[in-house]
Amino acid sequence: MTDVWGISANMSQQYYLEDIVPPVAEAGPDITVGLGRTFTLDGTGSSDNHRIATISWVLDPDGLNLKFHSSVVEFAIDELGVFPAIVFVVDFS
């Protein structure tokens, strides 16, 4: 900017924008399957206000601590029981 006397000045300002909204993990409904039958874990219902970076699952039948790095996983368990499956969703911020 230059005024009528030829004097000029510059000014700059920096803005830092952060995404403070966490993603929403959606593991889907509880499922019941027969012994040894294949079932699907589907985390595609998860969402974010911008973009999802990764979706992964942890399933722990019989202390195996299985980790899958995919939004959809097909798996079979050859043991009776209740096995929690946990979905982890990470966004880019």
The DSSP string of 22-59 is: PPB----------TT-EEEEE-TT-B-SS-EEEEEEEE
Distance CA 41, CA 75 (A): 8
Over residues 15-70, the pLDDT tens digits come to 888 889 999 999 999 999 999 999 999 999 999 999 999 999 999 877 778 999 99
Q: What CATH number has the domain bearing residue 14?
A: 2.60.40.10
Domain span at 89: 1-93
Number of domains present in the structure of the chain:
1
pLDDT of 1: 67
